[in-house]
Amino acid sequence: MKVLVAVKRVVDYNVKVRPKADNTDVDLANVKMSINPFCEIAVEEAVRLKEKGVATEVVAVSVGAQQSQDQLRNAMALGADRGILVTTDEALEPLAIAKCLKAICDSEAPDIILMGKQAIDGDNNQTGQMLAALMGCGQATFASELSIADGKATVIREVDGGLQTLALELPAIVTADLRLNEPRYASLPNIMKAKKKPLDTTTPADLGVDVAARTKLLGVELPAERQAGIKVEDVAQLVEKLKNEAKVIS
Ligand code: AMP
């Protein structure tokens, strides 16, 4: 069974992002970039499937700038067997990324595609769902448990009201939520070994994918500073302030 894992290069989750001086975009100069945390969880799950003998090969795929090779090497240090980079210098929209991933899936024919539930840069939470629609296959988003047997995947999903269990025919898309697993740290020997694993590159044009943007980024601003709160003496004063100052109750 072949597992394909989609891995995105994003600003590291510890970095406090700020807009560029002209507010045209997020300032990425000298900012630490990492593998998207939910993609790391997806990689860990894929590697665990291989360790259990369920999967035979784990292929990590990224769409992005040349530097995304670092995140693919990172995925390989965690246990992925090889990487594929779809190179582009444009910041692509989820639909364009899903189309690139679809083209890779057409040639790789994976049995299951593991992805993050969302990328922490755009917070879109769209690519997995769009890929499932393009491929015409089943999807289980926000997965907190995955098991595979008899050519079927059983996924427990975290939904608003609790947990939902789905059975999916393969191939299918599963997107990882926070509690799916706790990713391992890459060991130094595995980081060294990952440097020698195969990494192929292609481009959206080679894949025949139209990546033209359908939306335009107009500007990026920091949210307004929060005002300091106040302490009220008692419930009566709280109600009075909610009524007459905040005007949120009548
Ligand atoms: P998003 O829809 O942007 O929140 O991303 C959801 C998931 O789609 C991510 O966690 C990745 O698994 C995958 N994904 C999004 N963008 C890319 C990309 N540029 N390259 C590879 N995978 C991606």
Angle 85-197-68 from CA coordinates, rounded to 5°: 30
In the prediction, which pLDDT does 250 show? 84
* Cα separation, 133 vs 121, whole angstroms: 23
**Is residue 24 predicted with pLDDT exceeding 90?**
yes
Give residue 54's pLDDT. Answer: 96
Element spanning 83, H or E? strand 82-87
Q: Which residues line ligand 1 (CB under 6 A)?
A: 6-8, 36, 38-39, 42, 62-64, 94, 97, 115-116, 118-119, 122, 124-128
User: Looking at 148-152, 164-168, 175-179, 192-196, which range is the least confident one?
Assistant: 148-152
pLDDT of residue 189: 97
Lowest mean pLDDT among 43-52, 188-197, 208-217: 208-217
In this structure, what token pair is assigned to residue 232? 């009220």
Instruction: Specify the residue with its C-alpha closest to ligand 1, atom 8.
Output: 127
For domain 2-244, give the CATH number: 3.40.50.620
**Alpha carbons 202 and 131: distance in angstroms, whole number:** 19
- Measured in Å, residue 120 CA sits from the centre of ligand 1 at 9
Neighbouring-strand partners of residue 200: 84
Looking at the predicted structure, is the pLDDT value of residue 94 above 90? Answer: yes
Q: Which residues of 134-162 are buried (b: 16+ CB within 10 A; e: fewer)?
A: bbebbbbbbbebbebeeeebebbbbeeee
The ranges assigned to domains in the chain are 2-244
Residues 6 or more apart whose CB falls under 8 angstroms from that of 26 comprise 11, 17, 18, 19, 20, 121, 220
Two tokens at 52? 């259990």
Which residues contact residue 212 at a Cβ distance below 8 angstroms, ignoring those fewer than 6 apart? 96
Mean pLDDT, rounded, for 14-31: 94
Distance in Å, CA 71 to ligand 1 centroid:
13
Calpha distance 70→35 (Å, rounded): 9
Contact call for residues 24 and 57 (beta carbons, < 8 A): no
Return the amino acid letter for 138: G
**Exposed, middle or buried: residue 55 (CB in 10 Å: 0-12, 13-18, 19+)?**
buried
Q: Whose CA is nearest to atom 23 of ligand 1?
A: 8
Choice from 127, 129, 202, 211 to test ligand 1 binding pocket (greatest atom count within 8 A of CB): 127
Q: How far is the CA of 116 from the centre of ligand 1 (A)?
A: 7
pLDDT digits (tens, 9 = 90+) for 220-245: 999 999 989 889 999 999 999 999 99
Quick check: 157 pLDDT over 90? yes
| Spatial contact of 80 and 193, defined as CB atoms under 8 Å apart | no
Token match 């799950």: residue? Answer: 45
- Give the model's pLDDT for residue 38: 98
Q: Is the pLDDT of residue 114 over 90?
A: yes
The Cα 47–Cα 55 span in angstroms is 8
Largest CA distance in the chain: 69
**Nearest residue CA, atom 17 of ligand 1?**
8
The total number of residues shown for the chain amounts to 250
Show the tokens assigned to 249.
Answer: 């109750």
